[in-house]
Amino acid sequence: MKAFITGITGQDGSYLCELLLANGYEVHGLVRSPERAAAGHLRPLLQDPSIHNRRLFLHPGAIEDEPALGDLIARVAPEELYHFAGVSISRTHMQELAPLTEANGMIVTRLLDRLRRLPRPPRFVLASSSEVFGRPAECPQTEATPLAPVTPYGVGKGLAQLAVNCARATFGLPAASAILYNHESPRRGSGFVTTKIAEGAAAIKLGRARKLTLGNLRAERDWGWAPDYVEGMWRLARQGCGQDVILATGKLHTVEDFVRTAFAAVALDWRDHVETDPALVPGQEPARCCGNPARARTVLGWEAVVSFEELVRRLVEAALQRAQGR
């Protein structure tokens, strides 16, 4: 089997790369900078001569260069294509509607238009997001919950998901969206609150900081372990991409739950070290984002394995190791 991954150097892309290689795939990935890729999450794989340029191939390019990307995919001729590339959600991007809609939405529509013209289109899996539901009236959400995004990031992902639905229904393209709820790992970027909490708890434990400042501690999220979710996307591709599927734990936890568990992992009472700042609370915070994973269990035989408590412990442990240079 041969797979192509956009965004292969990110959290999800790198975990998927490892999973596919472990299952005998030949993996191709699009990278903006081979030099940066060599220093990132893929470094161990690229340093292995039995894998690099034998079963793992990185291609320099830009997701925005649709003609070149289309030609590359046609040459590689993968059976599966996973689309992770785009702009991740962060506070700095919350107000940038046009760039996020272009990066996370329009690029996908053009890519799908190119794929449907191939003699043998690959099975396509889009990494969508719970942000497409915005502030849903129902909890938990299902695949039938209306798309009603309230952030620029959600608008871009919603457009991409609608394009996948159109390509599947109108052109018969084997395409599906994995609607991903929050999923974490030590490879998560520094702009995410989970990373901030884990690194804050580690720094305070090591005596390198005294306080951690956060926004809304009552905000609720459905948090899972990233490698679990990557396996779900792989199962979705192998299943044949006949429908969109929510990947979630189905359990809500507050930011305060996360903080309490993180500080307990380093034997500290979070109330002695955490303060809040209203300025850090987003203007349009999605409410009660909890996904119903019933379809994933039924169709894919998938469910989240790593518990919330174990997830937080792993993040704090990894933060401690990074802080100590290990």
Residues noted as catalytic? 129, 131, 153
Residue 101 CA to residue 298 CA, distance in Å, equals: 32
Under a CB-based contact definition with an 8 Å cutoff, are residues 142 and 157 in contact?
no
How many Cα neighbours within 13 Å face the side chain of 62? 3
Residue 125 backbone dihedrals phi, psi, to 5 degrees: -125, 120
Residue 129 CA to residue 182 CA, distance in Å, equals: 8
| Sheet order of strands, 245-247 included | 56-60, 26-31, 2-6, 80-83, 123-129, 175-180, 245-247
Q: Are strands 224-225 and 80-83 parallel, antiparallel or unpaired?
A: unpaired
76 token code pair: 């590689």
Nearest to 122 by CA among 25, 199, 44, 53: 25
DSSP class of residue 298? I
Nearest to 114 by CA among 22, 11, 235, 6: 6
Other beta carbons within 10 angstroms of residue 54's beta carbon come to 10
